[in-house]
A and B are shown apart, each in its own frame.
Chain A
Amino acid sequence: MTIADPKAPRPDQADLDKAADRPEDADQWTARIRTTAVEALPPQRMLPDRQPAYVASWIYVFGVVTISALCVVIATGFVLAVFGPNWWHVSSTGLFVNSLHLWSVEVFFFAMVVHLWGKFFMAAWRGKRKATWITGVVSFLVSVGAAFTGYLSQQNFDSQWISTQAKDGINSTGAGAIFNVTNFGQMLMWHIVLLPLCVVALVGVHVLMVRLRGVVTPFAARNETPGGEPADTTGAEVQA
């Protein structure tokens, strides 16, 4: 009986690594998805360590701040969910966690709105980036819904007032039949399950699209022809 060396690579695994794209597997769904994904987003594009020189403005920070704040929102929401909806009303620790949750939401929206308007004024949809823009806008809208249902789930005066006011708008569209803002249980489920899943999925798709298409290039400079070569490299146009 021989004892295998645990440090030695398993021959079957090594074989698999080498033959990641076997011709005979070309029609296999799994292989096709992997090949397409790696071709579209190779590791260097997925986690780049270089960026074009023009990516050097504070406006670019707000995208990553938005994602950072979303992480804090989810983490604090996770803690609130662990202890249940009544906890933060009766515990000073719970109230503090709720405060963290509230302020992370405020920071999230502030950063997201600055990011959105920054991207608007960069016309960041240019160059096949329309879907990136649209997923960003939809992410913002779904985030508004997630925050709104959070306010409805607070079980305090604010949630009473907001729900009894908001019902008129929702009901006027007919949506009140299936989206009842005065039903605490339903709003809590939307707030802690459905909408967070949607937000995370949308933000994930949005980020993948940014990585796929890259950061939009600047508009042509004064001494460049839009979309073409520099019109006057002497700078005469600038001096004039």
Chain B
Amino acid sequence: MSADTHRKPRKFVQDRDAVVWKGRYEPYDIVKEFLIALVVVVILVAGLAVVFGSPDDRPVTVKSWSTASPVDFAQTAITELDGTSGTATYGPPYNENGTAQSIGSLTPEHWLGVHHPIDTAQDYVLGPLATLPDSPQVQAAVAEYRSATATRQAAWTAAYEKAVANATYAHGKLVVPAGDYGPVGEIVSGLTSMARSGALDGALVSSNQFYGTDYTKPLLFIADGQYLANLAANQHLGGDEWGMMNETGQWPGQAWLWLYTLWYQVPPANNSTNGDLEVFATMIVLTTILALVPFIPGLRSIPRWTRIYRIIWRDHYREVERPTGGGPSSGSPPQVEGNAREPVTV
């Protein structure tokens, strides 16, 4: 005799258990239903594709950015050189310079550390400039900058960063108010020219391999500037406008991310330095709750309390609750699914 034979049946719980259906069965051609649904979906999708199409706005390149907004490019370039840009001060997984987001004593960013190392001065400015052929002035400027002390470098870049805020671009040249910038002016002007020629795009994606598919460096560089953010703001894609769940134009985007994006619109995440981690933690908790609803008393009773099921199964209840009828399960004793026992009828 097995141990199961001795197991005491559990008490029947409406929100956990179900009875075995003893009522009527009706013909149901499941294959036909699937094929009809497939045809309807194909027609619907084709109609939507013909009428609305899909967006495909051209990507921003370093060339297009520096051509359309050379001053913004130069202002960004100097922050990459002096290590004050968003990427330079980000922290893991790009470098160790930033303050990682945390909840209490948990700082998950540090758990796996730096995996995509970026030294913005070397990777975005000095390294690419070193690849420029036939540019003795630029190479001399780079050499002078490299040989200077850190204090001297910081003095040059700080002065230039202040001056470039009032820079203009005219006649193919970056015009910056005069000052003691050492070689920094030549470096930033050289990088701007390189960017406008398109050469910087290639330099940023080049690697030890011929085929490259990792655009981390150019994407983060572009994102450090204001140009990309301004284009996104013009398309109402900013983080305060439900951000990345949207697409350019009027396309629906990732509407299913609405709950994730919602938390960025309200406190505490919308004004917290740990906002991203707080939103993720919130979503992990809510998602876990959703998956475990069947185990959570109270939550699993919501369907019964709201009684929406009576709309879904309205035909069934109409039939069962007819004054003359005993319902489809009448005449046969109820059998409970699983090892629950039916309650005593009083």
Contact = CB atoms under 8 A, between A and B. Distances in A.
Nearest to A135: B291
Contacts of A99: 48-50, 52-54
A210 to B, nearest CB: 11
Query: Is chain A's interface secondary structure helix, strand, loop, or mixed overall?
Result: helix
B304 A188 contact: no
B169 interface: no
A148 B333 CA distance: 50
B321 A144 contact: no
A127 B201 CA distance: 59
Contacts of A222: 317, 321
A228 B41 contact: no
Contacts of A64: 33-34, 37
Q: How large is the interface on B (under 10, 10 to 19, 20 to 34, 35 or more residues)?
A: 35 or more
Contacts of A159: 59
30 contacts: A47-B31, A53-B319, A54-B315, A65-B37, A65-B40, A102-B54, A107-B48, A113-B256, A127-B338, A130-B295, A133-B291, A137-B291, A147-B256, A155-B59, A156-B57, A157-B60, A157-B231, A160-B59, A161-B228, A161-B232, A176-B93, A176-B109, A176-B115, A182-B214, A182-B219, A219-B14, A224-B327, A229-B345, A233-B330, A235-B325
A235 B322 contact: yes
Contacts of A57: 312-315
Given A52-B24, A134-B291, A218 B42 contact: no
Contacts of B68: none
A223 interface: yes
A204 interface: no
Interface of A: 47-57, 59, 61, 64-65, 67-69, 71-72, 88-89, 95-96, 98-104, 106-107, 109, 113, 118, 120-123, 125-130, 133-134, 137-138, 141, 144, 147-148, 151, 154-166, 168-169, 171-178, 180, 182-186, 188, 214, 216-231, 233-235, 238-239
Contacts of B177: none
Residue of B244, B287, B334 with highest tally of chain A CB at under 10 A: B244
A195 to B, nearest CB: 14
Contacts of B171: none
Given A151-B254, A227-B12, A230-B329, A158 B247 contact: yes
B198 interface: no
Given A68-B38, A128-B338, A166 B309 contact: no
Contacts, number: 339
Interface of B: 12, 14-21, 23-31, 33-34, 37-38, 40-42, 44-46, 48-50, 52-60, 90, 92-93, 101, 108-116, 213-216, 219-220, 222-223, 228, 231-232, 237, 239, 243-244, 247-248, 251-252, 254-257, 274, 276-277, 279-280, 287, 290-295, 300, 302-304, 306, 308-309, 312-317, 319-330, 333-334, 336-338, 340, 342-346
B231 to A, nearest CB: 7
- 9 closest residue pairs by CB, A with B: A185-B213, A127-B18, A235-B323, A125-B294, A174-B108, A177-B112, A99-B49, A127-B337, A227-B12
Contacts of B309: 121-123, 218-219
Contacts of A238: 321, 323
A64 B78 CA distance: 56
Contacts of B213: 183-186, 188
Given A98-B54, A137-B287, 6 more contacts: A107-B48, A123-B303, A129-B294, A176-B115, A177-B114, A227-B14
B304 A219 contact: yes
B91 to A, nearest CB: 8
Contacts of A59: 312
Nearest to B338: A128
A160 B222 contact: yes
Nearest to A141: B287
B317 A218 contact: yes
